């Protein structure tokens, strides 16, 4: 079996599952940035791979469609794209990654959480006038108030 592991999975695991485990270089750098003392160990237990530009674009398009694009870091996008390229199961506890994976048909499994129950769509809503804003801005174009992310109903 082939797996792609994100940073949250590595934080939750003592060792990779049996099979071929892949991570992006960004995942290992995140472990280092968060001072996980095991980041040197993981490098020898996993295959470091990078996703294709085509798969990254597919992920960005799907994440824009669900409203998760601002919730996914570049590393999150890379692990999703790598799972597509390798036709691998993605191990993640990140709900936004799971949300986009489910929409894209990418197999995923959680490591330390229960995982998502259904797919959510997200939108930007003004905290002042309540208007839904479609474009990616930091403040309402009508009243200038800050925007928050809300789940679409």
19-64 tens-digit pLDDT:
999 999 999 888 888 887 766 666 668 899 999 999 999 999 999 8
Query: Taking the domains of the chain in order of start, what are their residue ranges?
Result: 2-109, 122-151
Q: What pLDDT shows up at residue 43? A: 66
Q: Helices 74-86 & 53-66, crossing angle to 10 degrees?
A: 120
Homologous superfamily in CATH for domain 2-109: 5'-nuclease (3.40.50.1010)
Q: What is the pTM assigned to this prediction? A: 0.77
Q: What pLDDT shows up at residue 153? A: 56
59-110 tens-digit pLDDT:
999 998 888 888 899 999 999 999 999 999 999 998 889 999 999 999 999 9
Q: How far is CA 84 from CA 13, 79, 81, in A?
A: 22, 9, 5
Angle at CA of residue 70, ends 68 and 71, nearest 5° = 60
Q: What pLDDT shows up at residue 80? A: 98
- Tokens found for residue 75: 């590393």
Mean of all residue pLDDT scores within the chain: 86
DSSP for 56-100, written as a single string:
HHHHHHHHHHHT-TTTS-HHHHHHHHHHHHHT-EEE---HHHHHH
Cα torsion angle, 16, 46, 19, 91, sign:
positive
């Amino acid at each position: 079996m082939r797996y792609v592991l994100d940073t949250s999975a590595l934080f939750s695991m003592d060792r990779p599952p049996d099979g071929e485990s892949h991570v992006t270089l960004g995942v290992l750098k995140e472990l280092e940035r968060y001072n996980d003392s095991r980041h040197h160990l993981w490098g020898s237990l996993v295959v470091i791979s990078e996703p294709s530009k085509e798969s990254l674009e597919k992920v960005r398009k799907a994440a824009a469609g669900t409203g998760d694009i601002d919730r996914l870091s570049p590393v999150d996008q890379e692990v999703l794209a790598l799972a597509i390229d390798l036709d691998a199961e993605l191990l993640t506890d990140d709900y936004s990654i799971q949300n986009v994976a489910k929409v894209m048909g990418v197999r995923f499994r959680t490591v330390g959480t229960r995982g998502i129950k259904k797919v959510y769509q997200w939108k930007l809503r003004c905290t002042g006038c309540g208007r839904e804003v479609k474009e990616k801005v930091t403040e309402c174009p009508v009243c200038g108030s800050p925007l928050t992310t809300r789940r679409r109903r």
